[in-house]
A and B are shown apart, each in its own frame.
Chain A
Amino acid sequence: MTSKIITIAKTTFLNALRKRVFQIIFIFGVIIILSTQFFTFFTFGEEIKILKDVGMAGITFFSLIISIVIGSSQIQSDLEKKTIYTVLSCPVSRRQYLIGKAIGVICYVTFAILLLSLVFYIALSAKTYSIEKKVGEEARFGFATFAYNVELLKGIYLIIIKGGILVSLAILLSMFFHQTFNIIACFLIYIVGHLTQIAGNLAESGGKVIGLIMLGFYYLFPNFEFFNISDYIAVGKIISFRYVFTVGAYGILYSVMLIYIASELFSKKEV
């Protein structure tokens, strides 16, 4: 059973990797990150802060695009091109197929984020090295950034988890919608997901009916604001491991739940 899921996941990963559109998006992301090399400010701290800010925002933005676009296209493309006929005529259950697809896309998104993060890390290290050299400090290429590397890793980990939720959401919505509508719906949910904290506050302070609606809103939609720690990283704040672990577990559980619902719906879907 697992080997079939892995086979589908591997092929899905390969499919995404060989698609030109995603290669272009990825190259564009690399260019944005590398362009931060040309930002020049007067103070050492400010320059690094801006670089981290732009770099993390760049990774977040491109992971958002890649997760939604690729997540919404995979199953829909198999349905439209009818490749699903030949796959499901093999001894593969619909659940195995869907889980394999989801894992393949999540692996691809993780791979893309890690690659972009590596580019970002190199850009950050190079910038730090050049500034340290300019201000006369002993240049410690690669080590100068170590103090906040751990914080960066925490931020990247949460971006990956957020990407996983978006992929799972796009896969779930592909049970109902065609790709264009799916992408629009995912972006809307992404925006709403950043406002759930407000819904939570309204649930406490609003009237009974509004409160109930807002409470439903708060628990139904994913709270993407939990994953947004870039601002803290930029100013050098330390994020506790406990927070990262809890939010990570929340994201993983939310993704598993979405995939489970999608697989239940898919098992009853005619192809």
Chain B
Amino acid sequence: MDHVIEIKGLRKVYRDFWYRPKVIAIDRLDMEVKKGEIFGFLGPNGSGKTTALKLMLGLIFPTSGKIRILGKVPTDVRIKEQIGYMPEESYLYGFLNADETLDFYGKLNGIPRARRKERIEKVLDIVGLKHARKRRLSDYSKGMSRRISLAQVLLKDPDLVLLDEPTIGLDPVVSREVKDVILGLKSEGKTVVLSSHLLSEVQTVCDKIAILCEGKLIKEGNVDELLTVNGETEIVASGLKQEDISRIKDVISSSGGKFISSGHPKETLEGLFIKSIKEKQESKSN
């Protein structure tokens, strides 16, 4: 099976009490996600990203069109064994602690006791919540709640991971950790579909994107291809002197090209932030 997700002509119309159409949340959506891809849903608030994920999970039903997840319809309960879902907020039971939460979801996913115990230890380690495992989730901070929500997804080691705004409201350090986990999933051959309106996040982790606006697919494709500015060439070099740069400029103009700019490459703000925090933490521990 090459395609993990196949959607054809999908339409979702929300209706009011009198069954009159209220909102067209998804309008004739066609898309395919291949095995091992990280696929990003982009779009402003209310563009239909969450609705699309809920349709894929069978939480709501399509008005028309077809969805196949891992070759089956989303309402087929059996496919849920292979799907992990992290909603946009941590919709977990606040009266349970982390251990009880993971045990609960482990049991619902039919993970045998010994493996469940082993997996709980592993995922708590991955999300860094071992120290707070006996604390009730209602006492967790937003960042901790997102981590336990992610742990719940990783627990069953799914083939397909659906993440709704995975880093929203998180500080850059936790956000980076979540992105690392997503990239880790890719390296394990898992398929990840994430929805976000944070463009830099999608750019750093996704292979393929789809841009939704008012429920319609307005752009779809490979991230590198979509972002490449055709007709311009970027050269990155080190150890050049000013006169070398002048010579390069001459070569460009003699070849009929146009020199646009030169300067030092800039680090991203996120990269600088993470580096600074890490340096501070390391100096504190030494």
Which A residues form the contact surface with B (CB < 8 A)? 3-4, 7-8, 11, 14-15, 18-19, 81-93, 270-271
Contacts and interface: CB of A to CB of B under 8 A. Distances in A.
Contacts, number: 71
Contact of B87 (A4, A14, A82, A270): A82
Contacts of B85: 85-86, 89
B130 to A, nearest CB: 21
B93 A91 contact: no
B96 interface: yes
Contacts of B54: 85
Interface residues of B, number: 30
B198 to A, nearest CB: 21
B61 interface: yes
B57 interface: yes
B95 A89 contact: no
A3 B110 CA distance: 9
A3 B107 CA distance: 8
18 contacts: A8-B108, A11-B93, A11-B104, A15-B93, A81-B91, A85-B54, A86-B87, A86-B152, A89-B59, A89-B84, A89-B85, A90-B105, A91-B77, A91-B110, A92-B108, A270-B59, A270-B60, A271-B60
Interface of B: 54, 57-61, 77-78, 80-81, 83-85, 87, 89, 91-93, 95-96, 104-105, 107-110, 149, 152, 156, 162
B104 A89 contact: no
B105 A93 contact: no
A91 B84 CA distance: 10
A91 B59 contact: no
By secondary structure, the A interface counts as helix
Contacts of B156: 90
A271 B93 contact: no
A7 B110 CA distance: 10
A77 to B, nearest CB: 10
A4 B78 CA distance: 13
